[in-house]
Amino acid sequence: MSQIHTEVYGEGPALVMIHGWAMHSGVWRDFARQLARHCQVICVDLPGHGRSEAIEPFTLQQIGNALLKAIPVQKFTVLGWSLGATVAMDMAQRFPQRVQRLIVLAGNPHFVRKPDWPGVKAETLDNFAELLKVDVSQTLIRFLALQVNGLAHGKTLLQTLKSAILECPPPGVDVLQSGLDILRTSDLREFLLRNRLPVHLIVGDKDALIPLASAQTLQRLNPAIDVQVLASAGHAPFLSHAEPLIAAIRKLL
């Protein structure tokens, strides 16, 4: 079994936090410590990211299985961000006996745009995949820049993201490509429309990767889904909108 790195802060109701593509827990450690004043926060590094060992194959099912073995509590709320949101949705779907509540932060059950679904252009992921083949560092820089594109203090936020991810070596190219494949192919819309767990979507209205319309569409199809919109927030609201995001999460625990 691969070793999965975890960081645990605080006491109280357990909240498991799963980071996004190419990242690790260090990217939101300060935010997690603030949140830990109100609950127990368990941050996990995805396999092959940060301080976690890699797994083969890097698939949605294998990732969820590995994380669940490493989470030190039996029942918890799971908060997934970006790629981590896709992992969190899959875990909630397959292990409802452990996942009590699902919080999707800047995530989309079907990441890629379709004629009947608002998402990111497939070309965006394809371009990242092609650039990875020649320059990993430049790919990651472009991805980070996209997360803060158009935001107030975007340059400062970008430097914060860069500094955080440099704490650990980047994931291997195979892991990064597999992560893009998961985003490209996963479709968890049916689960969100039919599941019985409490589901909360938290989105920024300035997110360049997750259209607000995707959350609104899900809520229209399933009114039981709670949608909270962070005004003027982009893809990394734990950096730009920490206080309102903590307030929103506290109400859900």
To the question of whether residue 61 is assigned a binding role by annotation, the answer is: no
66 assigned binding-site residue: no
Q: Where are the beta strands (DSSP E) in the chain?
A: 6-9, 14-18, 40-44, 76-81, 99-105, 199-204, 226-230
Which pLDDT tens digit goes with each residue over 14-28? 999 999 999 999 999
In this prediction, residues 188-204 reach a mean pLDDT of 95
How far is 197 from 195, CA to CA, in rounded Å? 6
Q: How many CB atoms lie within 10 A of CB 40?
A: 19
pLDDT in tens, 103-160: 999 999 999 999 999 999 999 999 999 999 989 988 998 898 988 888 878 888 889 8
Is the bond leading into 57 cis (omega within 30 degrees of zero)? yes
For residue 1, pLDDT beyond 60: no
Least confidently predicted of 32-36, 142-146, 200-204: 142-146
Starting at the edge strand found earlier in the chain, the sheet holding 40-44 runs: 6-9, 40-44, 14-18, 76-81, 99-105, 199-204, 226-230
Average pLDDT over residues 71-91: 98
Residue labelled with tokens 């399933």:
222
Pairing, β 199-204 against β 14-18? unpaired
User: What domains are defined for the chain?
Assistant: 6-250 (3.40.50.1820)
Among all chains, which residue has been given the structure tokens 């929103």?
Answer: 248
C-alpha 119/C-alpha 83 separation (Å) is 14
In this prediction the pTM is 0.97
CA 71/CA 48 separation, integer angstroms:
17
Q: Does the annotation place 183 within a ligand binding site?
A: no
Q: Does 31 count as an annotated binding residue?
A: no
Q: Is 238 annotated as a binding residue?
A: no
Say whether pLDDT at 188 is over 80: yes
Q: What are phi and psi of 99, to 5 degrees?
A: -85, 115
Percent of the chain with pLDDT over 70: 99
Rg from Cα positions in the chain = 16
Please give the mean pLDDT across all residues of the chain. Answer: 94
Q: In angstroms, what CA-CA distances link 145 with 11, 121, 148, 237?
A: 35, 17, 6, 14
What residues are annotated to the active site? Answer: 82, 207, 235
Q: How confident is the model at residue 211 (pLDDT cuts 50, 70, 90)?
A: very high
Distance between start and end Cα atoms, the chain: 31
- Ligand-binding annotation for 147, yes or no, is yes
Going by pLDDT thresholds of 50, 70 and 90, the confidence category of residue 64 is very high
CA distances from 63 to 21, 49, 178 (A): 13, 11, 11
